[in-house]
Structure 1
Amino acid sequence: MLAALAACSPLKLVDRVTPSDSYRLTAGVAYGPDPRQMLDIYQPLKPLPDHPVVVFFYGGTWNSGSRQQYRFVGEALASQGIVAVVADYRLYPQVRYPAFLKDNAAAVAWAYRHIGEYGGNPQRFFLMGHSSGAYNAAMLALDPRWLAAEGLTPAILHGWIGLAGPYDFLPIENPEAKPVFFAPHEPPDSQPINHLSASAPPALLIAANSDSLVNPQRNTHQLAGRLRALGVPVQDFYYDRINHVTLVGSLAKPLRWLAPVLPDVVAFVGAGLPASSSRP
């Protein structure tokens, strides 16, 4: 399985081995007029009155990805009693920064206002993302401009979860990301690290020590430290047996032995407002 994940279509392989009998899917819900402004909702099979909600944004350097490729994330969360929302958003070259953040905010606003119809509790509402999707989640949680455009504030969030996220990456080195942020004229306000405050929602930050794409020390470790210094509840975990890709891959049922990412997420979501902690 690990060897196959290193091949050209790891997401297709993970999708093939993802169970389809552990959730109820409502697919292709529009939250805006563009074909990319759609989301999928994964409901737990056992109905409860108080399901927490996680809106997930996938990675792909803001130029690739689709919600259908992340059924394994929806399945993982729904199988643990969480209503999961996996949202598409417009990508480069159709849009550049900050248009995709406006899409993210619109998806969150739709979910917040409608998720009760799908068994979710908007009072237990979380954002989550991997890689560039973790950046998106961070920006919505830390920079109030984006949710404000939808008549909301980050105060609606019970917390947010970043998996291998880039939070401080100027000047941009990745050639695929450069045009997204107008390099070499990248706006400083595009960086999550520049939007920290004591009122920020609690955070769960997870990274791979061997991540060669997004430096875990500069990004996850630095962000956790600065948030913690402001008194924001933060948990930051770092694992040795995973890399940038297998970190999110470990949410898939056959790969959960790689790292306890899913239990970490479930504990954070279930705990509500967690106490500050870190794992060596």
Structure 2
Amino acid sequence: MMTRLTVAGLALVLGGALAIAACSPLRTFDAVMPKDGSSRKVAGDVAYGEGPRRMLDIYAPVDRASGGKLPIIVFFYGGSWADGTREGYHFAGRALAGQGFLTIVPDYRLVPEVRFPGFLQDCAAAVHWARAHAAQYGGDPDRIVLVGHSAGAYNAAMLALDPQWLGADRAAVRGFAGLAGPYDFLPLKGDVVERTFGAWPRADETQPIHYASASSPPTLLLHGGEDGTVWPKNSINLSRRLKAAGTESELRVYPKTGHVGIVTGLAKPFRGDVPVLKDIAAFAHRVTAK
């Protein structure tokens, strides 16, 4: 059995490497993490569109009320829009499913295959798929919460806040929970954002904060106080804008938590370090109970 010290040491090494790589895939971390026994993977490699990057995995609680439909979480991972795979996030899918949700983790096309808004088109297609098909796996298509980390939080925010992406299916989105997301990063500076968004002629249209309005769903914004990859002001600014528009927005900044630590906090050995899983679950159950 892996000791706490061994796991912590691995997380420290991985955390440094992942921060340097702007949150690259967590495959090694995922491989050694103990998974929640209260949940399981119920389907894998499910196509929601054409091509290898348009596939998803589905997780569900082991025990649930007979005939009852579960609220749905669609989780988008990060990786600077240029890296990442759902295969590195079994720990996240199992963690969220263990809290009583049908959890869907999709891949999406990455830079340089696509630039903005190509990855958002894929993420929207994954949500449309969930709306149309999740009932087959025990999910309630009328109760969806979008969750994401880093670039994935950006993707989830854009789907939640900008009505163009989900159309009529946006009505099923009961809430959005973002972990360390970039929501307000103009002017575009740095190779990552210039490569991803620089070709779009109207920069303000790339910013989630631009779409905050009274029609936005309830939002939970979580950020690490020591995040040097995506500054906490992104969550602070978006929360202020949403509240000013009259929309419910909760903001929690965890002290002594960095960009990677906020997502690895979903893993079993680290839930005592940062209550990210508890906070997401409480929020998602509350907004889907309405």
Amino acid at match of 2:44: A
What is aligned with 1:72? 91
Distance 1:20 1:199, change over 3 A: closer
Q: Deviations over 1:128-181 (max 9, x none)?
A: 000000000000001111112xxx342221101100000011222331232111
Task: Return the offset for 1:270.
Answer: 1.1
**Alpha-carbon shift at residue 51 of structure 1 (Å):** 1.4
Find out whether 1:83 has 2:108 as its counterpart.
no
Pick from 257, 260, 272 the counterpart of residue 257 of structure 1. Answer: 272
Could you say which residue in structure 1 is the equivalent of 2:51? 34
TM-aligned CA distance change 1:175 to 1:274, over 3 Å: farther
Q: Please give the alpha-carbon distance, in whole angstroms, between the structure 1 residues aligned to 2:35 and 2:140.
A: 25
Structure 1 CA distance, aligned partners of 2:49 and 2:90?
21
- 1:5 corresponding residue in structure 2: 11
Partner Cα separation in structure 2 for residue 274 and residue 246 of structure 1: 29
- Is the contact between residue 234 and residue 274 of structure 1 (CA under 8 Å) also seen in structure 2? no
C-alpha spacing 1:191/1:176, structure 2 compared with 1 (3 Å): same
Do residues 160 (structure 1) and 176 (structure 2) align?
yes
Residues 57-79 of structure 1 deviation map (CA, whole Å, 9 limit, x = unaligned): 00000000000100011010111
Q: Does the 8 Å contact 2:154/2:183 carry over to 1?
A: yes
Residue by residue, what CA displacement relative to the aligned partner does 1:187-210 show, whole Å, maximum 9, x if unpaired? 320101111110110001100111
* Stretch of structure 1 that moved more, 158-167 or 6-15: 6-15
Counting only pairs closer than 5 Å after superposition, residues 220-239 of structure 1 correspond to structure 2 as 220-239=235-254
Alpha-carbon shift at residue 258 of structure 1 (Å): 1.1
Corresponding position of 1:43: 60
Q: Distance in 1 between matches of 2:228 and 2:13?
A: 17
Separation of aligned partners in 1, 2:12 and 2:82 = 20
Count of matched residue positions in the alignment of Structure 1 and Structure 2: 271
- In structure 2, what is the Cα distance between the partners aligned to 1:105 and 1:273? 20
CA, structure 1 residues 24+57, in 2 after alignment: closer, same or farther (shift >3 Å)?
same
Identity among equivalent positions (%) equals 45
Q: Matched residue of 1:177: which SS?
A: helix
SS in 2 for 1:160: strand
User: Which one-letter code corresponds to 1:166 in the other structure?
Assistant: P
Partner amino acid for 1:94? Answer: E
Q: Secondary structure at the match of 1:238?
A: strand
The alpha-carbon distance between structure 1 residues 274 and 163, as it changes in their structure 2 partners (threshold 3 A), is farther
* d(CA) in 1 for partners of 2:51, 2:202: 26
Correspondence for 2:227: 211
Task: Tell me by how many angstroms 1:272 deviates.
Answer: 1.5
Q: CA deviation at 1:103?
A: 0.3
Structure 1: how far apart are the matches of 2:85 and 2:34? 16
Change in CA separation of 1:80 and 1:35 when aligned onto 2, cut-off 3 Å: same
Could you say if the C-alpha distance between residues 30 and 274 of structure 1 is closer, same or farther in structure 2, counting changes exceeding 3 Å? closer
Residue aligned with 2:134, SS: helix
Change (3 A) 1:260 1:274: farther
Paired letter, 2:8: L
Aligned to 1:17: 33
Query: Distance between the aligned counterparts of 1:216 and 1:128, measured in 2?
Result: 17
Letter in 2 for 1:46: D
Could you tell me which of 149, 152, 158 is aligned with 1:133?
152
TM-score normalized with structure 1 length? 0.91
Q: Give the residue type in structure 1 aligned to 2:178.
A: G
